[in-house]
Structure 1
């Protein structure tokens, strides 16, 4: 198990072939485009550069799809080099406004709400809203919105798809979901009756998964959309100098060319040629064979961030925990500084224990760039986020470990003239390290799982890779079953390693006094 742990730990080094520096530099020759790379046929992730796919920044994977081809034409028209930055949907707008990317080309509609925060180019695609339902559903033959009365319907969070549900009379509007893979899982499992989508996504879903049915409405009986809601445009920063040049490039792409690009994307998308037959184990085997390397890269990144974050967080917790046990100084100046630092540490602990890591990620990574112009490498940012989050929890764990040491040992150390620092270093800390080791291991396991929220800052950890794969192959149960096993292997390996370390620190269960040469004689055998 140890060798597997070590292998996954060093594996991220193999993923850094495409340096992130290209995506975060101020080089004017680059055109940095953000997208999910998991929403076929608009955009997806693949393992090779087949069909002219573009390398994803900071990864060994490539991006393809309609959005990628539009981005390529725009970059060529601008005379710039195209750089694709893979970011979850929630992180696209913050990445744009903070300067991490130059444009969003991800099937985004220029709604009035979005226009308050960012600018948009002219439309590069016109969409028609449809409803996706499961084959055999009572809503399969629906032809109007009224036919969905009483149905449980959802849409993607922050999109016009979700807002459009309000037009359905008597609908049960479910909570919005983060992305299309999540909605497809919900539909496949029967949690919802349908989700609102676009016709091209519906064609993709229907082609890859025969259990899905695309419901198109009769004229005048479907969703009523404004011109802005029915189009897809490129998102740009407010007042961006790229807006006019991009509009000129888009104006030179005819409607026929766009339709041809979309038709090609639908034909080339991952899984388009797959046979939908086959059982659970068939698809698990196929998914592992085709995406095993991607999963291992994600697992390696997850372990790297969680390990370093746990170690640094424990160091932070140890330092602050020790400080908070120092007796209050008697001199006014030192006492004032002590109280100030103690208050500062208390605020730090309460803030980072009282807010979700996903919020901390957005504030630290995007907020630092937007407010102070500080661009942090996304992997470094992820390690910082996990470290300070872990440190807030470990501080209280360490403090509890210190107070668990018998008070008599402090008194004995003081009696022989040891300072507080000497007492902590030579007597208390060695015991605290052993006492908090189980809690530290628990934090490590929690961090392995909590790194899944880091996809909002474009960190391609294991969960983000799983969403990408399932978004392309529509095999959600099989894909996440594979990822579930990988997570279990990682956490189980970590747990076993830490238990061995604990036993090593504990030493043997019993000791033989030095110099004891007594031999226990065996009783004589009586014939």
Structure 2
């Protein structure tokens, strides 16, 4: 699966960050302390957390967005922030990016239904439990597995769970099952379950209740203590993720200790009751657009912004690099040496950014810069920088190819006329090279529109990340992704046609009137 592949790529980026961290002086990184308590969560895992368009039911504004986050995790975060004397700020982050965001100081805490497993404790610290969880299995209501009374009644069933969670490790307790590849998030698992790709997935009871209430075709199973999963509280109970040595840990634990079990159950009941639902009666398209239209528009706008600015800046970078790399050999030794060093550095730049995936580059720049060099970049700025530099590396080679495709005789002719290399490039070669390279540049623009989807790892809510959120909340996976696909197609089709018109305009008219355009030859008068 592509999601699994992207996770492995992100793991490479995390390894690079860790390696850099070992070589850099140790220093505790904290989010900017301006009276806010920055909490990282997916905002797409109801009833623990979700995204909505209004501030109804005590929702909290998502940083850098017009949307709001709500759910059990959000309400718990508000209680903790009040005890700390701060205001909650929700930072919507893909599950993969939560731990790097915390260790790099982008957020102050993770409150996202995360269990304090031994593996996670090696990297981050945890508070005491804020929700005691139980495992369940979500299946299709019409399947034979819906009658299962024990976790050992699933022989031959295809079972999966979310990657990097104890849920996936717990599958080994289910005798005779086929352990499928772990998936990135719950929306992906629900799609797979409905389509028959899997027979069930391991989850927590609140999520199972949400799945059952939102989709009548699904149900969650209740197991007795003897027939259920054997778990340790550290593996299934939920805790707040904190940085190592966080001075607020004691205060947070004191606050959680004051929240009674009855109050916690009441908060969960409210979360289940308030979680967003989509009207499945009538026209599904109108229902989704009515409820989530503004979110889709904002996601589309972010995708277009990243692709447009990234391509334009990348084109300028690529153009300059292409010109420099085609400078002819210099006569003076100093100039030759300087040019050789410059070409070597540019070659390294091109190979690095063409040879590594954008998702790894984003993780290294955004999280690595904060963790290693303590540079706290804005997520949108970081995304624009990554797309621009990545695009520049590709366009540099495109432009180099366009330049060397121009006939060498034109270079020789301009040099014979005494023109400098810069004059030759700007007045003769580049106009032709740019025209020859335009189809490839158009392709880069289209690729950028689609590749911005990986930037959700640094909390950028572009179109695909928005689609994931909507599908996870509405349970209308096919319909949501069909709309998202249509939006992508409209964008790429429009860009393709616009650049076709530009190409035709640069080509000029195909037929010339020779009689009207032929040059007049004036015979000089000899005195």
Superposition TM-score, scaled by structure 1 size = 0.91
1:106 aligned residue (107, 112, 133): 112
Q: Which of 142, 157, 161 pairs up with 2:148? A: 142
| CA deviation after TM superposition for structure 1 residue 190, in Å | 1.0
Q: What secondary structure, in the 3-state scheme, does the structure 2 residue paired with 1:34 have?
A: strand
Instruction: Return the match for 1:133 from 122, 139, 147.
Output: 139
CA separation in 1, counterparts of 2:254 and 2:198? 42
Q: CA deviation at 1:25?
A: 6.5
Contact 1:148 1:171 in 2 (8 A): yes
Instruction: State the distance in 1 between where 2:89 and 2:420 align.
Output: 58
The gaps in structure 2 that reach 5 residues or longer are 1-29, 519-527
Q: In the aligned structure 1, how far is the partner of 2:279 from the partner of 2:488?
A: 29
1:395 aligned partner: 396
After TM superposition, what 4+ stretches of structure 1 lie above 6 angstroms from structure 2? none
Equivalent residue, structure 2, for 1:6: none
Cα separation, partners in 2 of 1:57 and 1:348, compared to 1, 3 Å: same
Q: Note the alpha carbon deviations across 1:120-140, whole angstroms, 9 max, x for none.
A: 000000111111111211211
Distance 1:85 1:356 in 2: 24
What is residue 319 of structure 1 aligned with on the other side?
A: 320
**Partner residue in 1 for 2:372:** 371
Q: Is the alpha carbon distance of 1:277 and 1:218 closer, same or farther for their aligned partners in structure 2, counting shifts above 3 Å?
A: farther
Relative distance call for 1:25 and 1:111 in structure 2 (3 A) is closer
Aligned equivalent of 1:410? 411
Paired with 1:76 and 1:143, the residues of 2 have a C-alpha distance of 43
TM-superposed CA distance for 1:218, in Å, is 3.0
Q: How does 1:270-309 map to 2 (within 5 A)?
A: 270-271=276-277, 276=280, 282-309=283-310
Q: Are residues 1:169 and 2:170 paired?
A: no
SS, match of residue 147 in structure 1: coil
Match of 1:339 in 2: 340
- Aligned residue for 1:221, secondary structure, equals coil
Contact 2:31 2:107 in 1 (8 A): no
Contact map agreement 1:208 1:276 (CA 8 A) in 2: no
Aligned length in residues:
489
- State the distance in 2 between where 1:468 and 1:114 align: 25
Q: Secondary structure at the match of 2:128?
A: strand
Partner in structure 2 of residue 16 of structure 1: none
1:234 counterpart SS class: strand
Q: 1:33 aligns to what SS in structure 2? A: strand
More displaced, 327-336 or 57-66? 327-336
What is the aligned partner in structure 1 of residue 438 from structure 2?
437
| Cα distance in 1 for residues equivalent to 2:298 and 2:458 | 17
Cα shift readout 1:127-181 (whole Å, capped 9, x = no counterpart): 1111111121121111222212221111111111111112222222111111111
Question: What is the deviation of 1:516?
Answer: 6.9
Q: Tell me the residue number matched to 2:382.
A: 381
Alpha-carbon contact 1:288-1:482 (below 8 Å) kept: no
Deviates more, 1:389-398 or 1:200-209: 389-398
- 1:463-502 residue pairs with structure 2 within 5 A? 463-502=464-503
Counterpart selection for 1:222 from 221, 228, 233: 228
Residue 102 of structure 2 contacts residue 243 of structure 2 at CA under 8 Å; is this kept in 1?
yes
- Per-residue Cα deviation, 1:435-457 (whole angstroms, up to 9, x for no partner): 11111111000000000011110
How far residue 501 of structure 1 moved from its aligned partner, in angstroms, is 1.0
Counterpart-to-counterpart distance in 1, 2:98 and 2:382: 17
Specify whether residues 174 and 196 from structure 1 end up closer, same or farther in structure 2 by C-alpha distance, changes over 3 A only: same
Per-residue deviation at 1:514? 5.5
Structure 1: which 5+ residue stretches go unaligned? 1-23, 518-527
TM-score by length of 2: 0.91
